[in-house]
A and B are shown apart, each in its own frame.
Chain A
Amino acid sequence: MVSLTLEGVGTRYGRKQVLADVTTPTITAGTMTAVIGPNAAGKSSLFRRIAGMASGPGEVHIEGVPSGEQALAYLPQDTNATAVLTVFESVVLAAKQGRSLKVSEEELRDIDSLLAALRITELASRYLSELSGGQRQLVGIAQSLIRRPHILLMDEPTSALDLHRQMEVLGLVRSLADERQMIVMIALHDLNHALGYCDHALVIANGRMHRFGSCNDTIDQHLLREVYRVDGHVELNSLNRPQVVLNAPIY
């Protein structure tokens, strides 16, 4: 079983330390951790550090990944690409990185079923420059899932999606985490999504870890007040699920 443990992890850009002291208990396979916190708190920096794309103090322990398999995939925040590539080509590209030039029938079938699962088969022949922001996010998600990683880091993957797509994508990621026993860390702004789909919450504020725990214990009125500077509370809604109710910003 794959596991991920962070021990005093921080991130440095040049001499500037932008994140410090992120320590978690062992995060186990098949779980989803919401990484939450205000804008510019250091969520992307944490992901880049875990993915090995930034340096800094502390240790990232990844254990139990069978040799030859993809340990980790990182989906950065959405960027606009001008490449003259179709959606299908861009997913092939992600699948084949570091591998042979020839694309096998099996790889093509894998991409077919992934695009179908994300319900973007009809986008396959479109050029990347023709896509809307939300469509680009779906393609990005396909690019990271096709590598069959054991750990998936997603930086605000639903920020440009409509409500239906948000639920669809989060539902898919949740079921993949369960089926493939994948560890998912996902940066989210919508705390109700964190409550609805994630097991744990890792709260980052002002470049430090504020809290780590189960979503139900972590997301409460204190968090809203201290970290988000918002007056509100969490209550059970008519579907008997916890829901964040917001009142007003605190100045």
Chain B
Amino acid sequence: MSAEGVAVNDVSPIASASQDYRASVGRRVLILVGLAVAVLISFAVDLATGPYNYPVTDVIATLFSPENADTKMRVILWEIRMPVALMALTVGASLSVAGAQMQTILANPLASPFTLGISAAAGFGAALALVFGVALVPFVSAFVIPLNAFVMAMLAAGVIYFFSRMRGVTVETIVLLGIALVFTFNALQALLQYLASEQALSAVVFWTMGSLVKATWTKVAVTAAVLAATVPLFIRQAWSLTALRLGDAKAESLGVNVKRLRLTTLILVSLLAAIPVSFVGSIGFIGLVGPHIARMLVGEDQRFFMPASILCGALLLSATSVLSKLLIPGAILPIGVATALVGVPFFFSLIFSSRRRNSW
């Protein structure tokens, strides 16, 4: 039979589909710009708030021409508030992009460094260094705490990865495994606390709550450096990571080396999750919610999803940092506590207001 084929260049009279696509790309660029502006505003407000509140305009003036500013204000802004405000941005961004990529490679909306036990593992690694002075990476005396955190985070991520590749393992199994890891590392950490000296104990407790107040310029630099080193690697894989969301078979058929992509992404994610945890302790909510908000706003094309996740994470933690200073006047609430208190109602409102089709 000769098939009456449909000619390939037979363009239908309906308005071309690419016009919609172009419009949606433009819309998403605008959303990214809007998010960036919101991040900047939140950052300025974060600098302005504290035991003494400065007008935001004065803050901006001091930032751009410090030589003309009041000395006290300059010191407070640059030496005290700036590292904390920048830490909020970099930590928020790191945790959110880590969560976004974990959700992508495990095809699991519940994946995040916190829910799958990677943060708990990192916290345990940090506590090991604090309580017993144990260095998991020998011969490196500097950065023992972050290195320990990274090694334990990798271990937890490795366990998750190993089980996720086994036959018959479902999304639900991985979440259960993650919860088991959370409990295991929390128990181990409690054991360390039980054995710890009083001085070490207070340092460990600091980890379990999460706090930005001990931020220093060095910590900000390390966190920012890790973020700056990993994000370009993710960007290079933007199409492959997006293809992973079509399922393994489809991604493979499009030429993606699925196994290698998963493994390298997991290593990068562990690094992104471990470093913030080792500096500011356990901050739970951002890695889970940041990516979900980003997904609702721009979808899952990684060219937009990744920057949106970064911006959403930075914005969430920065805004929480502001609120943690305002909720109880005169006191700064631990950021880990504030994220959950502020973030959960916000997240609920998003879930129920968004149409189901553009969320997981």
Residues of A within 8 A of B (CB): 51, 53, 73-77, 79, 81-86, 88-90, 92-94, 96-99, 101, 108-109, 111-119, 121-122, 124-125, 127-130, 140, 143-144, 147, 168, 170-172, 174-176, 178-179, 195-197, 241
Contacts and interface: CB of A to CB of B under 8 A. Distances in A.
A71 to B, nearest CB: 11
Contact of A143 (B14, B16, B24, B254): B254
A128 B247 CA distance: 12
Contact of A76 (B1, B6, B253, B303): B253
B191 to A, nearest CB: 39
Nearest to B355: A127
Given A113-B9, A125-B17, A197-B1, A97 B254 contact: yes
B66 interface: no
A127 B357 contact: yes
Interface string B1-21: 101111111111010111011
B346 interface: no
A125 B20 contact: yes
Closest 3 CB pairs of A and B: A175-B5, A124-B17, A83-B245
Contact of A175 (B3, B20, B255, B357): B3
Contact of A112 (B16, B250, B299, B358): B16
B358 A76 contact: no
Interface of B: 1, 3-12, 14, 16-18, 20-22, 24, 107, 235, 238-240, 242-243, 245-247, 249-250, 252-256, 295, 299-301, 303, 357-360
A118 B301 CA distance: 23
B253 A74 contact: yes
A93 B242 contact: yes
Contacts of B17: 88, 111-112, 115, 121, 124-125
17 contacts: A76-B253, A82-B107, A82-B245, A86-B21, A86-B24, A88-B20, A89-B299, A98-B240, A101-B239, A109-B18, A111-B17, A116-B10, A124-B20, A168-B6, A174-B3, A175-B3, A175-B5
Contacts of A241: 1
Given A84-B358, A112-B11, A90 B6 contact: no
Contacts of A118: 6
A25 B252 CA distance: 28
- What is the predominant secondary structure among interface residues of chain B facing chain A? loop
A174 B253 CA distance: 22
Contacts of A175: 3, 5-8
B1 A122 contact: no
A168 B357 CA distance: 29
A201 B62 CA distance: 78
A98 B255 contact: yes
Contacts of B20: 88, 124-125
Contacts of A108: 18, 21-22
B152 to A, nearest CB: 31
A89 B18 contact: no
A174 B3 CA distance: 7
Given A89-B301, A97-B239, A170-B3, 17 more contacts: A75-B253, A76-B249, A81-B246, A81-B247, A85-B242, A86-B21, A113-B10, A113-B11, A116-B14, A117-B7, A117-B10, A121-B12, A124-B21, A125-B20, A143-B254, A172-B6, A174-B3
A109 B250 CA distance: 24
B12 to A, nearest CB: 4
A187 B301 CA distance: 31
A98 B253 contact: no
Contacts of A92: 21, 301
Given A124-B21, A171-B5, A81 B357 contact: no
A12 B246 CA distance: 25
Contacts of A114: 8
Contacts of A82: 107, 245, 360
